């Protein structure tokens, strides 16, 4: 969906102090609008596509976790478990 230039532009928006950003993008192929939340720290990166109407809620939840000091690799592992559980239903 995104080429290397798009990803580079989104990554540059990540606030160095908080390690998180949010953006709205339109798919260049189908025109679908996506919310993107990028979270990073020394343990890794999460690039998360969300529906635009959920963007602020997801961003705030990720910001709270980051502010509380939860490492990105732990957040990522928890997200993977939730997604796997939901996919198995």
Domain range enclosing 25 = 4-87
Average pLDDT value for residue range 45-59: 93
pLDDT value for 25 = 87
pLDDT value for 55 = 95
pLDDT value for 63 = 92
Residue 64 · residue 70 · CB < 8 Å: no
**Measured distance CA(59)–CA(23) in Å, rounded:** 10
Number of domains in the chain: 1
Average pLDDT value for residue range 31-36: 90
Average pLDDT value for residue range 77-83: 91
Pick the more confident residue, 35 or 8. 35
pTM: 0.79
**What does each C-alpha distance from 28 to 3, 25, 46, 56, 57 come to in angstroms?**
10, 9, 22, 23, 25
pLDDT of 7 > 80? The answer is: no
């Amino acid at each position: 969906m995104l080429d290397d230039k798009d990803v580079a532009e989104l990554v540059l928006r990540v606030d160095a102090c908080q390690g998180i950003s949010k953006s709205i993008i339109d798919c260049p192929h189908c025109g679908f609008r996506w919310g993107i939340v990028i979270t990073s720290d020394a343990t890794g990166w999460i690039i998360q596509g969300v529906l635009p109407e959920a963007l602020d809620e997801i961003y705030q939840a990720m910001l709270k976790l980051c502010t509380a000091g939860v490492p990105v690799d732990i957040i990522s592992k928890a997200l993977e478990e939730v997604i796997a559980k939901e996919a198995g239903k």
